[in-house]
Each structure stands twice: as structure tokens, then as C-alpha cells.
Amino acid sequence: MGQVAAVTGATGFLGGHLCERLLAEGWTVRGLCRPSSDRRLERPASRSSDLAEVAWYVGDCFDAATLSSLVDGADVVFHLAGVGLWSADPETVHRVNREGTENVLEACRDGDVGRVVFTSTAGTRRTNGSSEFADEDDIAEPIGAYQASKAAAERLLDDYAATGGDAVTVHPTSIVGPGDDSFTTQLLAMGLEPTMPATLPGGASIVGVSDVVDGLLAAAADGERGEHYILGGENLTYDQAASRIADYAGGTAAPVRVPATAIRAAGPVAEGVRAVTGRQVFPFDRRMAALATQRLFYSSQKANAELGYEYEPLESHLPETLAWYRDAET
């Protein structure tokens, strides 16, 4: 009998890809999902895939009985469940990301559980200016509710590891791949759509979803208890990424870059609308808007040295991602 994995966030973009890989490698997979969640993977029409072999546990991170059943007896608990500011208000983001993590760890303490692999975000790390690339030691002051909630959850994992539990935290950077209708669709549009008026200033560490799944499995197998690992990819400006996508796919990269001043100005506008009307028109404030104009570049040297983690160039992830993107448009 293969190893048993429990996966929260199993129907999400990264969670679905992780479950698919685990199943392919012979794991028994238990997945946490809400009653309304779609349990199919979004793939190009030429390659259908679903998660029918996952043993589904219907509930969420606030259902103690379901969590207990989900994790008990698992060799690895992959905790990926979370929400961002595009889909929830700041209070809900904190509740799900921080308190939900606390509930998962409580279930793990009470059950027979091997290792916990927690997926945080590279956003809790940021260079202090002494280097172009941030690493695991560059702990940053959180900007916005999402980063703050993830930083708080990381502290819970660190405490769990320091008090007898076995836990590792990974920090993916900006992930691209089929099924992601946020960052991936925006990035591809900058390189493919003739109607796209502009690229963005700044840049990101762009990593394929399959590489992040590799990193999750490596962290489960070889990570040091209590350690953190950045799972990044190529560090590219958005201009560079758009040009490479256009060159690969025969598209037309957006010809103009949005001025950083325009993005920074949107932060105060969003704050003002929220203060007057109580409505959130953009999920960021002035500090988050300023952050979006920076080159958020990262080093994965530690993950490479300790986990054997490697990443592929952007172009290697484009065939399946572009097929999915074009299917979604038709």
C-alpha cells in the first residue's frame, strides 16, 4: 500500500495539480472540499483529467470532525487551503488563512500524522535592498491582509515544529499553469492579446505549477523540520515575460508599459472609495499598490541545495498552459 496524503485546498489550482501527481505516483489521496467545489481539473480539451480517485472529505477548515478524519493516519498533510483578497474581505482572509491553519494543526496534534507541508507565499519574504533577490532569511513586514494572515500562519507552523510536530513551510512565487484564471491569464494576455494595451511595471519570479508540485513533494520527503523553502522560477520583468510569450506563440506583446505612478495612484483611490461607501473596488491599499510596481525577485538556492529543487524556463510550461487558455476562450 502506498503512502497516504491528506490535502486541504485539493480543488484549487495548485491543490488539483498536486493531487493529480500524487495519484500518478501511487499515493492514496484524501482531499478536503466544500460541498459546492468543482472536483474536476481544468485541462486542455485534448487532455481530460479529473480527481475521481481522490477520497473526498466534504467540509472546510472549521469542521473539526471532518479535519480529524481527513488527517488521521496520513503520512503527509499538505495544507494548501486559503483565500485571497480578490475573493474575500480582509476579515475572512485572516479567519481562513490563520485560524483555519490553527484548526488543521490542532487536528494533526490530536491524530496520527506524519509530516505537515504548509504552502505559504513568497510575499512574506522581501529583499531589504542589499540584494536583488530575496531568500528565506529576508522576513518582511506584511503588506495587506493576505500577507499578514500567511505570516501569522507561518508562526503557527514554526511553533508546531518546535513543540514536537513535524512541519515544513514552502513559499511559492508567482505560479503559471493550466487552470489558473488569475495570474496566468493576466500574464498570457500581456503576451498574446493585440487588444491588451499595456504591460505592467516591475517583475516577478515566474514558476510553472509542475515545478512547484515537484517542490512540495521534495519538501515532504527531504525538508528539514521547521525549515522554510522558497519555490521560485525565472526572475523576469513583465516586459521580458510578455515578449517571450509573444515570441513563442506568435502573439503581440502589449506595446506600452503602465506607468508605476498610475498603479500607485489606484491605492489611495481604493482606500477613499472604501472609506466613503464601505465597498472594496480594488483589493489593495496604497502600500500594496506600491509593492505591485516593484521587481519581486527571489532565490531558490536553499531549496536547490537541500531538496534538489529545480525549475524549468517559462517556455517549457507554455504548451499545455496555452492550450488551456485558448480552450477557455472558445
Quote the CA–CA distance of 309 and 136 in Å, as a whole number.
Answer: 15
Are 136 and 230 contacting, i.e. CB atoms less than 8 angstroms apart? yes
Residues with Cβ within 8 Å of 262's Cβ and at least 6 positions away in sequence, in order, are: none
Catalytic residue among 146, 160, 298, 309: 146
CA distance 241 to 314: 8
Q: What share of the chain is helix, strand, coil (3-state, %, to 5)?
A: 45, 20, 40
Residues in the chain: 330
Cell of 115: 509530516
User: Which residue type sits at 182?
Assistant: S
Query: Helix or strand or coil: residue 205?
Result: strand
Could you confirm whether 146 is annotated as catalytic?
Answer: yes
Give the separation between CA 124 and CA 138, rounded to whole angstroms: 8
Q: Is 141 helix (H, G, I), strand (E, B) or coil?
A: coil
Alpha carbon distances (Å) from 123 to 17, 77, 92, 102, 186 = 22, 23, 19, 20, 19
Residue 294 CB partners (closer than 8 Å, separation 6+): 202
Q: Give the Cα separation of 193 and 185 in Å (integer).
A: 11
Torsion of CA 129, 258, 208, 330, to 10 degrees: 170
Residues annotated as part of the active site:
146
